[in-house]
Amino acid sequence: MSSSVNVFLTLDKPAAFLKQSALVSHSDQGVNVHVGSDSVENLRKIQKAGRHLDGQGYASVQLAGAGWDMESQWAFYQGFNSTMSDNTVAWNETDEGVASQLDDMRAANQFTRELVNLSAEEIYPLSLAERVSEHLKSIAPENVSARFIVGDELKNEGWMGIYTVGRASQHAPVLAVIDYNPTGDENAPVDYALVGKGITYDSGGYSIKPSEGMLSMKCDMGGAATLAGALSTAIRRGLNKRVKLFLCCAENMISGKAYKLGDIITYKNGLRVEVVNTDAEGRLVLADGLMAAGEAGAKQVIDAATLTGAAQMAVGNEFNAVFSIDEQAAALALNCAAQENELLWRLPLATWHMENTPSPFADCANSRPQKGGGAGGASNAAGFLLRFAPNDGQGWLHFDLAGAYQKSSTPMWAAGATAMGARTIAATLLAD
């Protein structure tokens, strides 16, 4: 007896005794997924069918018969992927090349999801940096090097955002600099810098979160994990550009050493920032990463973060949000998202958004002293980051990852990490 059930795509309507809206039906040959003529909607149906079969207790499937292209197989895998089990999907056997690409995508996806889903006891700043470095070195050992700036070294080198946010934790904060350089030339220019928010746990600090809001905050390093997955995917697809990955890693905790409301952080570039909300810590650490990207001379910069609840209010958990004042860079990101079948929406950002977090005591504040940062909170957060973006924001993309984590299961996703955004960013890196 086979250890897997065959799953087929069919244009046939469900049998008369079933609801005509039924996604799946069963036959002697296996399971049928009922699709239609709309290719985009079919991907949603197929992913939902994967969730449905996981919910019914299936653990191993073979994608069989005609109609399974790469995107439909990937949609099923994303739905069938379950947080608490080891479900397996055998790819359709008609195209070995597609199966090989899907294997690479699955490896990067599983790595990203595991990083986000593990508890903060297992993923803390240094362990996050080490796991990402080891993973990338396992793919391209000759082309990857890493440096970790840890604890007081951050203060000594001027990386005051990461140091300040992370100094209250028993786990020292870290700025990880991971260099993928396939050129063999140590003086080669950096084509892209990737800057990831790596808050491995976020209590909110003295602007403490309620218990239910804190429960999922192991996911607040989703930006770092997403960029690691994107770089892993791009390397597997043959990336030949030099890319530096900056992971801004800290735990935002409370102790006698914790930073406080009203404190002023003086950054390496001389900018002074008043802290009006210790739960708006992601932008404080990303500021260091963006300045580091500038020091590296990167031509293009992408940051990614689970940054604001305001972005989720705007686009829901089905989309990620992107911000840029560079029209060409924004268009490229949106085109890559469409190419990779990931949902991405551009939200407003203008240079005047930099003025939307004023302070009477410093050059600016890290937020507004209102719940969620007030109206336009996601754009105002992006405006804060624009103050630190190299090249006055030209060539810079900011991803607010509203869809990176599901607090509970949905018809499309299991609870936990989705890794949504990694494919888009990988495609952006690979674009000419």
CA 79 to chain centre: 18
For the question of residue 371 being annotated catalytic, the response is no
CB proximity list for 403: less than 8 A, separation 6 or greater: 315, 316, 317, 318, 319, 320, 343, 418, 420, 421
Among 209, 237, 299, 346, the active-site one is: 209
Count other C-beta atoms under 10 Å from residue 186's C-beta.
9
Please give the Cα distance from 398 to 300 (Å, whole number).
11
| H-helix or E-strand spanning residue 201 | strand 192-202
- Rounded CA separation 175/157 (Å): 11
Q: What is the DSSP letter of 208?
A: P
Identify the burial level of 114 via C-beta atoms within 10 angstroms of its C-beta, where 0-12 means exposed, 13-18 middle and 19 or more buried: middle
Closest of 33, 240, 8, 280 to residue 143, by C-alpha: 240
Residue identified by tokens 């870290």 is 174
C-beta of residue 237 within 8 angstroms of C-beta of residue 426: yes
Write the DSSP assignment of 358-382 as a string of letters. Answer: --SSSSEESS-SSGGGSTTHHHHHH
Which residue type occupies 428? T
Q: Which of 318, 341, 346, 329 is nearest to 423 (CA)?
A: 341
Q: Are the C-beta atoms of residues 335 and 228 closer than 8 Å to each other?
A: no
Evaluate whether 176 touches 124 at the Cβ level (below 8 Å): no
H helix intervals, 242-323: 282-295, 309-315
Alpha helices in 237-319 (DSSP H): 282-295, 309-315
* 13 catalytic per annotation: no
Structure tokens at 405: 């984590």
For residue 34, how far is the Cα from the chain centroid?
31
Pairwise CA distance, residues 25 & 15, whole Å: 8
Residue from 113, 218, 283, 387 carrying the catalytic annotation: 283
Q: Are 380 and 373 in contact (CB under 8 A)?
A: yes
Closest C-alpha among 123, 154, 316 to residue 220: 123
Do the Cβ atoms of 183 and 235 come closer than 8 Å?
no
Annotated active-site positions, please?
209, 283
